[in-house]
Structure formats: structure tokens, C-alpha cells
Amino acid sequence: MAIKICAEVFDPYLEIQAYQNENPSKGGAVGATSIFIGTMRDFNEGDAVKGMTLEYYPGMTEKQLEKIITEARQQWHVIDTLVVHRVGEILPAQPIVLVAVWASHRGDAFDACRYIMDALKSKAPFWKKELLATEDERWVVENTDGYKRC
């Protein structure tokens, strides 16, 4: 299990591969890997966004992420997890968050990955401030349920 807070741009695929290489023992037990990658969009709430700053609460952020992962492991059969979250100045298309869950079976992997993402969005202390194309700055007020509105 690993939790990383990154102040620099990270490559989610390299992070996963590096983590797997450092933890090769789980190989034959793993049947399912569910991965979520959140990346920065260049629009939000109908406005063009050209950058973002991600603030966090060092110490509490890691503590809450650990708690969320423990809750997931209590509910599903999970072999391992990796969570990486970016902080600082971010540009469109850069990764913000990576959640990877390794399990023997796909239901456990999918459910635990989604649980961790949803809980992270509602409980882990991170805050986004958007820099709009108009040069205005604004704090993102609330995370949504994650579906596109028609």
C-alpha cells in the first residue's frame, strides 16, 4: 500500500509500473487491476480553464487517505493499492489523481477503486483554484457526483 503526494507532474503509467516492479510478489494472485486516472480538463462549468492550483493539508491529507483505503480493505478483498495525488500548479491534460487497486477478482477491484475515488473526492483535504482563460481566479466550490449533465 502506498500513498504519494506529488508536487511535480507525474506519469500515472510509470508510477504503476514502478510500484509493481517494487512489489512483484503479488503477481500470480492478481486477476484484476482497476485503475482510475483523473486529469485536468480545459473547461469547467462552461468556462475555459488554463491552469489550476491544488492546495492540501499536509498530514491530514495522508491520514484521511489511509483511513479511506482501510475502509475499502474492510469491505472488499483487495491485494494492494496505490494512490498518487498531485498538488501545486497544474496545467490542462496533466494527471491530478491516480488510484490503482489490485485484487483477485474484478468485482472487488472495481468496487474498491470506485470507493476510494468517491471518498477521496468528498473527504481528502485538497482544494482546487482555477485560473480561467479570462485571467480570473476562482475556487472550485464543490465536487459533483461525476456525471455529465445533459
Partner 1 sequence: MLMSIKVRYFASLKESVGRSEDNLAFTGLSTVNEVWNRANPGRSLPANILAAVNMDYVELDSNVKDGDEVAFFPPVTGG
Binding-site ranges for a copy of itself (CB under 8 A): 13, 16-17, 27-43, 76-77, 92-93, 103-110, 113-114, 117, 121, 144-148
Q: Around Cβ 102, how many Cβ atoms within 10 Å?
A: 26
What Cα–Cα distance (Å) separates residue 50 from each residue in 55, 101, 131? 17, 31, 6
Least distance CB 139 / a copy of itself (angstroms): 18
Q: With CB cut-offs between 5 and 8 Å by kind, which of partner 1, a copy of itself, none does residue 4 bind? A: none
Cα separation, 38 vs 44, in Å, equals: 14
Q: Cell numbers 494472485 correspond to what residue?
A: 29
Site string (92-121) toward partner 1, x via CB under 8 A: ----xx--------x----------x--xx
Least distance CB 117 / a copy of itself (angstroms): 6
Q: With CB cut-offs between 5 and 8 Å by kind, which of a copy of itself, partner 1, none does residue 21 bind? A: none
Q: With CB cut-offs between 5 and 8 Å by kind, which of partner 1, a copy of itself, none does residue 108 bind? A: a copy of itself
Position 57 contacts partner 1 (CB under 8 A) = yes
Least distance CB 27 / a copy of itself (angstroms): 4
In the complex with a copy of itself, the residue whose CB is nearer, 63 or 143, is: 143
Cell of residue 131, nine digits: 485560473
| Phi, psi of 30, rounded to the nearest 5 degrees | -80, 125
Give the interface with partner 1 as residue ranges (CB under 8 A): 38, 54-57, 59-60, 63-64, 85, 96-97, 106, 117, 120-129, 139-143
